[in-house]
Structure 1
Amino acid sequence: MAEPIMTDPTMTRTLRDNIERLSDRAEQQAKDAPLGDRLADAITRFAGSMRFVALHAALFGGWIVWNLGWIPGLEPFDPTFVVLAMEASVEAIFLSTFVLISQNRMAAAADRRGDLDLHISLLAEHELTRLAGMIEQIAEKVGVSSDPEIDEIKRDVSPEQVLDALEQKSTD
């Protein structure tokens, strides 16, 4: 059996700390979510489970068997299944709404993670650009010839230019 990730000795302390902080933040955000959002998430989780499928198979199956008149002594109460259809339609409306609420929350969280990823990538790119300049200066001091591409590496990337180029490429 694999060792739990948080006790894996090959994982750095910094990585473990980052995982722990991100996990704590996700738990706190879940606790701080409005009651309606937490309710929608709980309903969506249940509706996406096999217990939900089994419960509906039993309820709808029992309803159908009863109203087909197959159970002796039980008089059908919905012989045309109009009430069953209406109940299923109303349930579908509510379930789809709960799913959309949960998806909207997940999309917002994904957008925040994407923004964080972009910010971290830009910071890392900026730091690497500065390091490339320092390395070139060190190389000059010790008399080592530098890479001819160092000038390109030393230039900061403009995120706006990249986005503009991507947008232009997608419209071509």
Structure 2
Amino acid sequence: MIEPRQGMGATLRQNIEDLTARQREDAERAPLSDKVADRITRFTGSMTFVVLHLILFGVWISVNLGVLPVLPRFDPTFVALAMVASVEAIFLSTFVLISQNRMAAVADRRADLDLHVNLLAEHELTKLAGLVARIAEKLDISAGDPAFVEVHADVQPVQVLDALDESRKEKGIE
């Protein structure tokens, strides 16, 4: 249970708990390939990975330059080092892309949720504005503010998307 925080309502705390639990469930249900890619990506993005590479490549280069005569030279032209680094880069970039694709899918789900919640809130506010206008009318209070009149209209999401697309085209963004 999340500890109550000053100014944070019970509903907000519950939402945080529910979303955190859902993220945990989604992570547990993820395919093994996604879990492996995420772990590799997390490790390769760490300072431990950088330090290990500095040590490994430093020893490799030092041995093959003859600076460390502890071992015989095994790659004096560094062709093997270049090949190992290239193959590693291919695999690492693939793991990063897999993780990014998964993160993009999660971001798309969140954006969809945000859109649906915002549309629901917009619809509810439109209904409340109508109710407030009727109450103002009953109480003989003027509600003629042009901004208030706009609140009465339900937002049509498809029209908003069309307008955004048109605006982007005009500005050469798409």
TM superposition score normalised by structure 1: 0.94
Q: How many residues align?
A: 168
In structure 2, what residue type is equivalent to 1:10?
A: G
> RMSD value over aligned CA atoms?
1.2
Residue 163, structure 1, aligned to residue 161, structure 2? yes
* Equivalent residue, structure 1, for 2:140: 143
Task: Write the distance in 2 (CA, Å) between the matches of 1:152 and 1:73.
Answer: 80
Residue 8, structure 1, aligned to residue 5, structure 2? yes
**Does the 8 Å CA contact 2:63/2:70 hold for their aligned counterparts?**
no
Residue 34, structure 1, aligned to residue 6, structure 2? no
Given candidates 70, 73, 91, the residue that maps to 2:88 is 91
Task: Write the distance in 2 (CA, Å) between the matches of 1:42 and 1:124.
Answer: 38
Extract structure 1 runs of 4+ deviating beyond 6 A. none
Note the alpha carbon deviations across 1:94-118, whole angstroms, 9 max, x for none.
0000000000000000011011111
Q: Which SS does the other structure have where 1:122 is aligned?
A: helix
* Equivalent residue, structure 1, for 2:67: 70
Q: Which SS does the other structure have where 1:7 is aligned?
A: coil
Task: Write the distance in 2 (CA, Å) between the matches of 1:12 and 1:142.
Answer: 33
Structure 2 alignment gaps of length 5 or more: none
* Equivalent residue, structure 2, for 1:82: 79
